[in-house]
Structure 1
Amino acid sequence: MTKKFTEEEYQKIADCFDKVNKKYNMGVMNPNLLIQMQDELFGNFNFIEDWGEIMAISNPRTRKQAHDQFVEKEKKCYWRHKKTDKRGNRWYLSKQSGLVSLNAKKKSDAYPFTESKIRSWGYDLDMYEKEEAEQ
Structure 2
Amino acid sequence: MEADFVGVSVMAIPLGMLGFRPEAWFLATAAVLGGAGIEIFGTGWRTALMEQVPPDALSRVANFDMLGSFIAIPAGTLLYGWLATRADVATVLVISAIVYATTALATLLVPSVRRLQRLSSSPTTLTSGSVR
TM-score when normalising by structure 2: 0.27
Higher helix share: 2
Structure richer in strand, relative to its length: 1
- Where relative contact order (Cα < 8 A, 6+ residues apart) is larger, the structure is 2
State which structure, 1 or 2, has the greater radius of gyration over its C-alpha atoms.
1
When normalised by structure 1's length, the TM-score is 0.27
